[in-house]
Structure 1
Amino acid sequence: MEFRRVRLARSTKTNPWDNLAREEYLVNLCGDDEAILYLWQNAHTVVVGRNQNPWAECRLDLLESEGGRLARRSTGGGAVYHDLGNLNYSFILPRRAYSMERQLGTVLGALRTLGISAEFSGRNDLVIGGRKFSGNAYQLTRHKGLHHGTLLLSADMAKLSRYLNVDPEKLKTKGVASVASRVMNLRDARPALSLDDLLDALEREFLARYKAPETLREAKEPEGEEYSSLAERYRSREWRLGRSPECAVTVRRRFPWGGMEIRFNVKNGHVADPVVFSDAMDGEMILSLGHRLEGVPFSWKELAEAVRRAFPDRPEMAETALWLEEAPISGKKEADA
């Protein structure tokens, strides 16, 4: 199809909730005869797919304790870690102009102009020599198409593994689980590559492939009630955590006073149906612990504080709280009996 206008937008923010809100704002803004390229970065963020369980995909407590943010996007696919060594791109188009081949061709073409030869592989990845540097996801509505992806330029691979590594034997979920892949940075292929090089190449290739008589650059961040409402939704606990699928959690540890196993479901981000098993001598204390965990927001810190409030004078429960605070699924200090 022919386009009347192409629109270029670069975000100056690194907050994932604001950036995802702007992306949806641009989807709503996109006309029937225009194409939009949106480029953006998030700092210290794990982004999960729309149908994923964040606790199954990332070390949530660890991420937040170290100043990171969790975000949930509107598209499917797996969890990804974003930092300022990663660039995100979004193609926003009328549904009839949507073509994954053309959109990915734009990215691959831009990389070729920078001296990087890459290819599409598997379900949604771009690779160099079999090593992944980009994942993609999409959303199609009746009238619009959104396709966005990542470009690992100089991402911190240690943090990527630190926040996305979860023990699959300890957490079973009805959601969608990510598949680990070998990953690389584009600077591994071209060490001198800069962020500005990548930004400019993507825009040049986009303008070459989506020709239109009018080019509009969105120089300002959006304002107004619509954008503010979208940003508030993306940062809300209900969107980030409450929409996650139910999951079943089992954690266990042996203490000097007895073994402890805690099982519970997570529904709408809160503990549900907790059961505690233990060979501790004080059976009533163990029975009471299960009741005290019901309805607590699923955060290891919140669980630890709930135990302390319920049993302020019990040394066994003080030890239990310290253990929970270490995030026994997602942390490094688990001592499984």
Structure 2
Amino acid sequence: MHNNISTRIICSTSYNPWHNLAVEEYLLEKVKDNEIILYLWQNENTIVIGRNQNPWKECMCKDFEADGGKIARRLSGGGAVFHDIGNLNFTFVMDKKLYDLEKQLSVILKAVNNLGINAEFSGRNDILVGERKFSGNAFYEKANSSYHHGAILVDANMDKLSKYLKVSKEKIASKGIESVRSRVVNLKTINDDITIEKLKESLISSFLELYKGDSNIEYIKDKQDIQDLYEKYSSWEWKYGQTPKFDINFVKRFKWGEIDLNLNLKNGIIDSLVIYSDAMNSVLIKDIENELLKIPFKMDSICKKLNNINCKTDEKDMIFEIEEWLKSKIG
């Protein structure tokens, strides 16, 4: 179908999450027609939160930053993750029409299989060996390009992971799990021979095998091109956003993620609002936020706006569930 696919392999030499996320967004903007890029990168001592999450709720921000950690916010949805140089991050950036989740995942699965690990994809975004997860995935799309990215745990510091990340009681209850720690596993625990270097080589060779591409590896040096994006990702505003005091707070966990809706009203109009969420659909959450701003705090106004949103079938179902829940709150 797409015989003229062109490929690129790009590796970052920086361990700074703001640099690496800036490069990722730069590639998303610049990816060419019929091109797919495999971008490999690592962050040192970092917590990366999903696009719509509240950092204060997800991690011990103050303690983590006091211990030299960096907080970063990505474009994609989903939950908070801890990164150190014991894990390897991958991003497939592509012309949107080449997006093929099964093919992208098979690059990862083949790469770990070749290192003697029998893995499978599960549920919404996890890659498991047995019952335990070693990689979480997230997704983001623009008009003509998309990315699919994830972190692979090779030899990450599990103590830090459980020390700084806070997992909500509701989430643990809904998944029936004891703790963050019991459900994740380092690949090194399963096969002691695995290193980040070996995993990188294995990913690159399975990528080339599946996409038949050119094996030149490009290294990103600190480029001027990403200066503005770097400033965005490193800014307090992007990482923490506005957390004013809100008059009204509604929270509910759905099967697809949590919605934490915060509003201020002025004369019965929604004057300001923030929606925190770990739902994978990061753009939808932002669209809902934009639609509800400056409208009357009345159920019919809210439904009318929500039903205006242009979205996919599964997202229409999400909006329906949100409406039903709000009706029970607002009446």
Structures share a fold, TM > 0.5? yes
Aligned position for 1:304:
none
Code of the residue aligned with 2:18 in structure 1: it is: W
For 1:230 and 1:67, the matched residues in 2 are separated by 22
* Cα offset, 1:142, TM superposition: 1.9
Aligned position for 2:312:
none
Verify the 8 A CA contact 1:5 1:216 in the aligned structure 2: no
Deviation readout 1:129-180 (Å, 9 max, x if unpaired): 11000000000222111000010000011100000026759xxxxxxxxx94
Deviation readout 1:75-95 (Å, 9 max, x if unpaired): 000000001101100001111
For 2:210 and 2:20, the matched residues in 1 are separated by 25
SS in 2 for 1:192: coil
1:114-263 maps to which residues of 2 (within 5 A)? 114-165=115-166, 180=180, 182-212=183-213, 214-224=214-224, 226-242=225-241
TM-align CA RMSD: 2.6
SS in 2 for 1:107: helix
- TM-score, structure 2 normalization: 0.68
Judging changes above 3 Å, is the alpha-carbon distance between structure 1 residues 99 and 247 closer, same or farther for their aligned structure 2 residues?
A: farther
How many residue pairs end up in the alignment? 243
Verify the 8 A CA contact 2:13 2:219 in the aligned structure 1: no
Aligned position for 1:25:
26
Verify the 8 A CA contact 1:47 1:79 in the aligned structure 2: yes
Judging changes above 3 Å, is the alpha-carbon distance between structure 1 residues 131 and 243 closer, same or farther for their aligned structure 2 residues?
A: farther
Deviation readout 1:307-327 (Å, 9 max, x if unpaired): xxxxxxxxxxxxxxxxxxxxx
Judging changes above 3 Å, is the alpha-carbon distance between structure 1 residues 222 and 98 closer, same or farther for their aligned structure 2 residues?
A: farther
Verify the 8 A CA contact 1:53 1:245 in the aligned structure 2: no
SS in 1 for 2:26: helix
SS in 2 for 1:219: strand
- TM-score, structure 1 normalization: 0.67
Code of the residue aligned with 2:227 in structure 1: it is: S
SS in 1 for 2:183: coil
Judging changes above 3 Å, is the alpha-carbon distance between structure 1 residues 191 and 92 closer, same or farther for their aligned structure 2 residues?
A: same
Aligned position for 2:53:
52
Q: Rg bigger for which structure? A: 1
For 2:129 and 2:154, the matched residues in 1 are separated by 13
Code of the residue aligned with 1:97 in structure 2: it is: L
Verify the 8 A CA contact 1:81 1:160 in the aligned structure 2: yes
For 1:100 and 1:246, the matched residues in 2 are separated by 40
* Cα offset, 1:219, TM superposition: 2.5
Code of the residue aligned with 1:195 in structure 2: it is: I
Structure 2 unmatched runs, 5+:
171-178, 248-261, 265-331
Verify the 8 A CA contact 1:58 1:163 in the aligned structure 2: yes
Aligned position for 1:63:
64
Aligned position for 2:257:
none
Judging changes above 3 Å, is the alpha-carbon distance between structure 1 residues 58 and 28 closer, same or farther for their aligned structure 2 residues?
A: same
